Structure 1
Amino acid sequence: MNTKTIPLTIVTLTIALTVTSGCTESANSQSENPAATQPEDLPMLSEQLEEKAASSVTRIPEDVRQAYAQGIEKVRATGIEKSAKQVGDAAIDAQLTGWDGSTVKLSELWQEGPIVLMWYRGGWCPYCNIQLRAMQQSMDKIENSGAKLVVLTPELPEKAKETAEANDLDLVALHDKDNALARKYGLVFQLPEAIIPAYRDKLKLPEYNGNDAMELPLSATYVIDQSGKITYAFLDADYKKRAEPADVIKAVEAAAQK
């Protein structure tokens, strides 16, 4: 496919709970003081996510919140934040299809310029929806830096389209069927047993992903330069934490100068 013709504002392929790991500086260290790098005209994603998390205190019973918190720590304890693809590793190529039927080969995109590769878990995840809206608000700055934003998700194409429409997003989501690419990046984890009923019965994960696998990808964000090398990685087992748009833009600008 001639990627120059792709109206690629965002492309989609998900992975569950999030993970934070290294980048040129570690993603964790960058997010400790996001105001230091956040332009005034960009939304502070961390504040929006924290506000959402705070609101859950009044909506979600304490025992349920504790189960989710323990689930995050169990995922972190697997070491996935360190075993997933890191800064300096070679990116993995793939050919993926969006819900509009377009086909995208990742290597063809990054050969033209840096790409931001971002996984979201699904439209059922409020934190994913907040992140998607924030990244779209940053699209002009990302593209003006010479990069393309590629969004990936495990949810079925028709669900990804619904997610885009519900959030008023100008994007075509790429389908990472059965988390195949996320698995190669080392981002996939099994849901802890205690929270499986909530994801299966309440959130309807099988209906979104088209399979019965109780697994998700981390909500990871990578920047890949024109040589196909990962130059930035945000990996965090806590699904309530995501890469700050300003940090991603800084990483894109650095990759574009190489």
Structure 2
Amino acid sequence: MSRLIDSINKYQEDFRKRVPENLQETMLNATQKLKEQKLSKNALKVSDIAKDFTLKNAINKDVNLNKLLEENEFVVLNFYRGAWCPYCNLELKAFESINEQLLNKKAKLIAISPQTPDASLTTKEKNELSFEVLSDTDNKIAKEYGLVFSLADELKPIYEKFGIDIVGSNNDDTFNLPMPATYVINKNKEILYAFIDEDYTSRSEPQEILDIISKNQ
């Protein structure tokens, strides 16, 4: 299995070649400031009980966590920023590569972002995803999981320069986003695995998800 970190490193190498150094420095500084806030310490962690939710999927149908856990042994819950985020797209594609293995282990994979259902449908089609992509309006569920932060003001003009329309994608002008996070939840709603990082370039490795599920079968 190819590693997600290798895809991320390749993307970053290309990014450093094509983006002006002053913009890179601004982005790195903003990430460092966010890391210094240590917001992840307030997020749900291993041994915590997962919060139930009902959210709309890409075709506007309700998906409920409790019901998924009734039908499956595990739920893998991934919070991502949006289709505009290249790291999120790399991550979603990497998760798609293990989805069949997860299903064989009776594990249901779902991804959540603050995007509208239409934007989520675009994400699902763009990345050819076979798992559910849910819309967390106003980051309501991400807040309950302790994952939300506000995009730094100095990043807004940079994102605009990149053609990123967060307000349009989310139908929300707060610029609130979830930190990258991945959870493995068992039938008792207990969190068996939790990955949360203030650094949006850092992501959970799919193999870790498979390993933790195998250990708990």
The alignment's TM-score, normalised by the length of structure 2, stands at 0.94
**CA contact under 8 A between 1:200 and 1:214: conserved in structure 2?**
no
Is 1:163 the counterpart of 2:116? The answer is: no
**Count of matched residue positions in the alignment of Structure 1 and Structure 2:** 215
In 2, distance between residues paired with 1:101 and 1:211? 18
Higher RCO structure (Cα 8 Å, ≥6 apart): 1
Is 1:80 the counterpart of 2:39? The answer is: yes
Is 1:214 the counterpart of 2:175? The answer is: yes
In 1, distance between residues paired with 2:79 and 2:58? 16
In 2, distance between residues paired with 1:120 and 1:232? 17
Which runs of 4 or more aligned residues in structure 1 lie more than 6 Å from their structure 2 counterparts after TM superposition?
none
**1:60 matched to which residue of 2?**
19
Letter in 2 for 1:248: I
Is 1:223 the counterpart of 2:184? The answer is: yes
**CA contact under 8 A between 2:99 and 2:131: conserved in structure 1?**
no
**1:46 matched to which residue of 2?**
5
SS of structure 2 residue aligned to 1:173: strand
In 1, distance between residues paired with 2:135 and 2:126? 18
**CA contact under 8 A between 2:60 and 2:117: conserved in structure 1?**
no
**CA contact under 8 A between 1:116 and 1:149: conserved in structure 2?**
yes
SS of structure 1 residue aligned to 2:68: helix
Match of 2:85 among 109, 115, 125: 125
Letter in 2 for 1:188: V
In 2, distance between residues paired with 1:111 and 1:240? 33
Is 1:248 the counterpart of 2:209? The answer is: yes
In 2, distance between residues paired with 1:125 and 1:110? 29
**CA contact under 8 A between 2:151 and 2:175: conserved in structure 1?**
yes
Q: Cα distance, 1:198 vs. partner?
A: 2.6
**CA contact under 8 A between 2:113 and 2:135: conserved in structure 1?**
yes
The within-5 A match list for 1:143-158 is 143-158=103-118
**CA contact under 8 A between 2:81 and 2:177: conserved in structure 1?**
yes
**1:28 matched to which residue of 2?**
none
Q: Cα distance, 1:200 vs. partner?
A: 5.1
Match of 1:70 among 29, 49, 56: 29
**CA contact under 8 A between 2:23 and 2:158: conserved in structure 1?**
no
In 2, distance between residues paired with 1:198 and 1:208? 17
**CA contact under 8 A between 1:231 and 1:251: conserved in structure 2?**
yes
In 2, distance between residues paired with 1:205 and 1:101? 20
Structure 1 regions of 5+ residues with no counterpart? Answer: 1-41
Q: Cα distance, 1:128 vs. partner?
A: 0.8
In 1, distance between residues paired with 2:60 and 2:153? 36
The within-5 A match list for 1:188-199 is 188-199=148-159
In 2, distance between residues paired with 1:51 and 1:158? 30
In 1, distance between residues paired with 2:132 and 2:110? 9
Q: Cα distance, 1:110 vs. partner?
A: 1.9
Letter in 1 for 2:194: A
In 2, distance between residues paired with 1:116 and 1:78? 27
**2:56 matched to which residue of 1?**
97
The alignment's TM-score, normalised by the length of structure 1, stands at 0.80
Q: Cα distance, 1:153 vs. partner?
A: 1.1
CA RMSD of the aligned region, Å? 1.3
Letter in 2 for 1:183: K
Q: Cα distance, 1:43 vs. partner?
A: 2.1
